[in-house]
Amino acid sequence: MRRAVAVRLSALLAAGALTAATSVALSTTTASAATGGVTGYATQNGGTTGGAGGQTVRATTGTAIHQALCGRASSSTPITIQVEGTINHGNTTKVSGSSCNTAADKIELKQISNVTIVGVGSGAVFDQLGIHIREAGNIVIQNVTVRNVKKSGSPTSNGGDAIGMESDVRNVWVDHVTLEASGGESEGYDGLFDMKDNTQYVTLSYSVLRNSGRGGLIGSSESDRSNGYVTFHHNLYENIDSRAPLLRGGIAHMYNNHYKRLNDSGINSRAGARARVDNNYFEDSKDVLGTFYTDEAGYWQVGGNVFDNVTWSSRSGDHNPAGPNPTSNTSVSIPYGFTLDGANCVPSVVAQTAGAGKGLKVSDGSCTPQSPDPTDPGPTDPGEPTDPGPTDPPAGTNLSLGAGADGSSKASGTSYGNVIDGSTSTYWSPSGSTGAVSVKWGSATTVSKVNIRLASGSGTIGAYRLLNHDTGAVLASGSGAGTVGFSPVSLRKITLEITNASGTPRIAEFETYAS
């Protein structure tokens, strides 16, 4: 692998430090999964819903992510895992169970289905630890950062891929993520977003890929042509040497992406692949489209793209750039609907929407960023207003039944006691969008899990805290409804404090459990 990215990276350290600081600041945005916005090829083959309709849990370590997968009733039981904090080798271990197949050196989504992993709260960073999807289907990954994953040196993870998919993978939506390295292959890094060995129906949207020798590939060799049906839209590729992406066989659709400083080559369509390339903005780059490093040709359909300070090499041998005036040499039919932003506004709209910590903002198709609609019935949104709660409630006795309840900011016509009556048809609401409701006992009671159920017509909980009312300690925090666990604590009163919401939340049940 060429060392260009490492050389250029050293010249960008100051800018990189600023970017990192900006990323940390932006990651304070609270986000929840918005699967109603799934786009591209991930909408095909039955669609991609992730953990829709299942239990919602929180995780602050890699081990906790694996525990959530292994704690399901089966390997296909839907689950949404809200992740906050830094996930690394030090807090990621293998967990065993009949519903999982995990490993210690990566986040392993292997031989499973129906899973959403979404960053919430102050953000989720997978530091030097990759996400591996293998023999799996219906996976959603949103609002996370994966950085500096290595295949050589120390520590190593996931073959050096930030997100890697292989072996009969179907229907994956990766959205609003930041994938970054700090060099090329000689520095120990590999691809940021790789698909191999029969991976199909994938969308990468509103994401940032930067500072790497290899952006990603579809197909591990010229003979690995069983992959494809991949959409890339509204992504930023910045300071990438090559593979933006490399496509061997199959079909890919690239639209409204911003490619900036592709140092050696960009979209590499080869080995019979067909790429549709619509309304992208290529800037300060070299050989951004063509067939490179092989004599097995690939094909492309182009339209509406902007080439801003793009240089083109002469054609020779196995180096066949599409420029300097790219024209279509195939036709690619797209089976799903999509709306194109004008290419000239792509740098601006991508800068405002792409990457983790951007509040899941998307373009409205007219170059204007929009926040996700809180009333959009996204099935993986743990705060879905019409969902009365997870279909897989925690096991054991609901300790709230028979307890007392009080709180603050009660809306007219509602009752604190409605959250402990075992019925989802009654509810408590705050007077406005924020407020608190508590469950209390006459003597100390041990609690380690809470399940919040929303009534029909509820607003969405944007942010909450669970408090030990006896001491004021914060037991957990997050967004949306569902189940959250924490270290067992003995207390007489536990409080749900809603600090941000869209609309007025309707808390049907505030369930508490010992385990």
DSSP collapsed to 3 states, 76-130: CCCEEEEEEEEECHHHCCCCCCCCCCCCCCCEEEECCEEEEEEEEEEEEEEECCC
Determine phi and psi for 81, rounding to 5 degrees: -110, 110
**Contact 237/257 with Cβ under 8 angstroms?**
yes
Dist. CA 449–CA 462, nearest whole Å = 20
Evaluate whether 287 touches 326 at the Cβ level (below 8 Å).
Answer: no
Extract the tokens encoding 396: 């054991």
Selected catalytic residue, list 243, 261, 270, 453: 243
Q: Which of 202, 200, 259 is nearest to 235 (CA)?
A: 259
Q: Which residues pair with 236 in a beta bridge?
A: 208, 258
Encode burial over 481-492: b for 16+ CB neighbours within 10 A, e otherwise. Answer: bbbbbbeebebb
What distance lies between CA 179 and its chain's CA centroid?
11
Quote the distance between the C-alpha of residue 255 and its chain's center.
19
Dihedral of alpha carbons 371, 374, 376, 382, sign? positive
> Is 72 annotated as catalytic?
no
Closest CA to 351 of 364, 367, 373: 367
Residues in the chain, overall count: 515
The DSSP H or E segment spanning 10 is helix 4-11
Question: Which of 400, 514, 515 lies closest to 446 in space, CA to CA?
Answer: 514
* Token reading at 207: 């994401």
Rounded-to-integer distance, Cα 369 and Cα 350, Å: 9
CA-CA distance, 116 to 109, in Å (whole number)? 11
Question: Of all helices (H) and strands (E), which one includes residue 475?
Answer: strand 473-478
The CA angle 463-80-477, to the nearest 5 degrees, is: 25
Distances (CA, A) of 60 to 21, 88, 241, 426: 21, 10, 34, 33
What span, in angstroms and rounded, lies between the C-alpha atoms of 356 and 326?
A: 33
Catalytic amino acids? 243
